[in-house]
Amino acid sequence: MSLRPSAFPAGRALRFRLRAGRSAARAGRVRRALAVVAGTAVLLGGALATAPAALAAPAADTCRGVSTVGLYCGYDPGTKWAEQGSKGAHVKEIQALINETTVYRKASGKRLSVDGDFGPVTKAAVTWFQWYYIGESASDGIVGPQTWKELRYGKR
């Protein structure tokens, strides 16, 4: 199919002329395809323009799915072992994931403090998470591979 863009003066839509023997239906499909491409470009341009603002948002308010990590709140993409007494970014990630991606606040009436300190309150929240999402047999209050898998990829 050979299309030639016609000259288009300012204020007129882009049109294509078909060579002799081509159908009008084909011209309509081409116009629709161009409209879709143009619309997609406009939408992507807007998304790229707002991306820096989204990256600047506080970590705990932006728990999102990341293809290589699963759910990620911006503190730590890893799956480091955590238990009572642990401290660090991985503990903040656990706390934020429980706050932002579960019904913990609704069930307990509390918001878990995202401070990076795995104390008794965090242990209670982890134990609740394990009981609620994995099962009673997994409720030990320790965040190991099974709990990380459920935190990152579990259905909510």
Q: Where are the domains of the chain?
A: 3-55, 59-153
pLDDT in tens, 66-102: 877 899 999 999 999 999 999 999 999 999 999 999 9
List, for residues 26-66, the tens digit of each pLDDT value: 666 766 766 666 666 555 665 444 443 343 344 545 688 88
Contact 82, 142 (CB under 8 A): yes
CATH number of 59-153: 1.10.101.10
Residue 117's Cβ-count burial label (10 Å; 0-12, 13-18, 19+) is middle
Question: Distance between the two ends of the chain, CA-based, in angstroms?
Answer: 50
Nearest Cα residue to 114 out of 68, 152, 58: 58
The pTM for the full model equals 0.60
CA atoms within 13 A on the CB side of 101: 25
